[in-house]
Amino acid sequence: MSTPLSQILGLTLIPVFATVLGGAIATFRTPSEKLRSLVQHFAAGVVLAVVAGELLPEMTKEHRPVGVVIGFVLGVALMLGVKAVTERIEGRSGSSGNSKAGLLTAVGIDVFLDGLLIGVGFAAGERVGTLLVIALTLELLFLGISVAASLAEAKFPRSRNILTVTGLAGLVAVGAWLGGSLLGGLSGLSLEIVLSFGAAALMYLVVEELLTEAHEVQETPLITASFFAGFVALYLLELMA
């Protein structure tokens, strides 16, 4: 039985609020680079735990190798395509002296895809979708902090800063609505493709976004350990659910 769209959107308000909260925090006081790296490592561990503990077992249950290959190819191709497009937009905006427009466009695409992935999670079941909401809440909390800090450096007024982050957060709900509307009730090969697509996109998020940015800061044992803490924390939550 598919999860009602109203329930999906209700749960999606959690990461939406987290994005706005992160933006508000950074607008008034930007966290240190080490703290941000620690949060990124923890969020990466949480997201990876959802992939390993929920999506991969669901994919194995289906026993459809063709669906896995198609889903992974589509997921990786989309994420690489989005990266190429956003880099081009940022490059053009930077050369015209309006680099924040490029940043906001790239972030807008990113948060929309995060919302879409929530819809993918609920296509696999309420439990998977709910755990994915928890994982992406942490990722979007950091994203809100990162965007607001960048806008603050560009001397954006506080009110405009918060409104901008709030507008971006709304795209999470739009993506979740679209994903929940289109993916509800899938089964068989279609579900396998969607699950594999989601797993590939989330793994890309961990490896190419969260950890890549987190490693720009000199690592400490505590920062490294936070990745494993995030993984174990979410995995224990899965076991108790």
Q: How far apart are CA 38 and CA 126, in angstroms?
A: 29
Domain count, the chain: 1
How many helices (DSSP H) and strands (DSSP E) are in the chain? Answer: 10, 0
Tens of pLDDT, residue by residue over 96-135, are 545 566 667 778 888 898 898 898 888 888 888 898 898 8
Cα 238 to Cα 232: distance, rounded to the nearest angstrom = 10
CB-CB contact of 55 with 199 (8 Å) = yes
The answer to whether residue 94 scores a pLDDT higher than 60 is: no
In this predicted structure, what is the pLDDT of residue 93? 59
- More confident: 100 or 161: 161
Mean pLDDT of the chain: 85
Distances (CA, A) of 235 to 78, 94, 126, 140, 167: 28, 41, 16, 20, 32
* Domain hosting residue 45, numbered range: 5-240
Which region among 71-75, 88-92, 163-167, 184-188 has the lowest average model confidence (pLDDT)?
88-92
Share of the chain above pLDDT 90, in %: 23
Please give the share of the chain, as a percent, with pLDDT higher than 70: 93
pLDDT in tens, 2-32: 778 889 999 999 999 999 998 898 888 877 7
Q: What per-residue confidence (pLDDT) applies to 90?
A: 65
Residue 60's nearest CA partner among 238, 179, 150, 191 is 191
- pLDDT mean over 76-80: 91
Q: What's residue 143's pLDDT?
A: 85
